Amino acid sequence: MGWNKALFLAINAPAHPGAWALWFAWVCAVTPPVVVPLLLIGLWVRGGGAARGGLIAAAVATIVALGVNQILGRLWYEPRPFMIGLGHRFLAHAPDNSFPSDHATLVWSLACGLIMTSAARRDTIRRAGWALAVYGVAVAWARIFLGVHYPIDMLVPIPVALAAGWFARFIRPPVDRLVLPSCSRLYETGLVAFRLPPTLFPRDR
C-alpha cells in the first residue's frame, strides 16, 4: 500500500465516529460552494472601492485554477476510496474521479488571491484570505475523514492555488484599469435602483 492510501486510512473516520466529529466534518466538507461566494459578496460590499479590483482578480484566478483542475483530472484518473472499498464513507458522492479536489482548489485559490492582491499586511482582505486558508485545511481534512478524497487530492491544489494567487496579483493592475470601473458603476446603479440602505451597503460616491 502506498503512502497516499496509508495516510488516507490514518485520517479517514472509523466505522462508528462520534456524532459531533461527523457533524463538524460534514459542515466543513459541503460548505465551500456557499462560503466562498458569500465571502466575496461581503468583502465587496464592506471592503470599499479600493479593494474591489483585488476581489475581481482573485475570483478570476480561482476560476482559472478550477479550469486547471479539469485538465489535471483528464490527465490522471483516480477512483475515489469508496469505489475500491477503501476505508469508510459518510458523505454521498458520485463515483467519479477523485483527483484533484475542486473544493480545496476553490478555497485555497481564493485565499491565495486575496492574500497576494491585498495592498496592506493587515487589511481586511488579507485577513479574510488567511482565515479562508485555515478553513481550507479543515475542508481538506473533512473530505478525507468522510471518505471521498485521498490526501494527494488535497496536496495538488496547494501549488495550483499558489499559482492562482500570483496570477491574481499579475492581472490586478489591468483589472483595476479596465474592469473595475464598469463593475463599480453597475454596482452603484443597482444599489440605487433597488433602494438598498446605505448603512448596510455603503456608497462609493
Distance CA(53)–CA(168), nearest Å, equals 10
| CA 30 remoteness from chain centre | 12
Residue 176 is predicted with a pLDDT of 93
The identity of residue 61, as a single letter, is A
pTM of the model: 0.93
Which pLDDT score is estimated for 50? 75
Q: Looking at the DSSP assignment, which residues form a beta bridge with residue 97?
A: 79
pLDDT score, position 198: 79
What pLDDT, on a 0 to 100 scale, did the predictor assign at position 199? 76
Residue with cell string 492574500: 115
pLDDT value, residue 1: 58
Give pLDDT, residue 193: 87
Q: Helices 32-47 and 124-145 meet at what angle, rounded to 10?
A: 180
* DSSP character string of 149-187: --HHHHHTHHHHHHHHHHHHHHHHHHIIIIIHHHHHHHH
- Residue 139's nearest CA partner among 169, 110, 168 is 110
Q: What is the pLDDT of residue 122?
A: 67
pLDDT for the residue 191 = 85
Q: Which pLDDT score is estimated for 120? A: 63
82-113 residues labelled b (16+ CB within 10 A) or e (exposed): beeebbbbbbebeeebbbbbbbbbbbbbbbbb
Give 10-residue mean pLDDT values along the chain (205 residues): 91 95 97 96 84 94 97 95 95 94 97 88 86 98 98 97 97 94 89 82 72
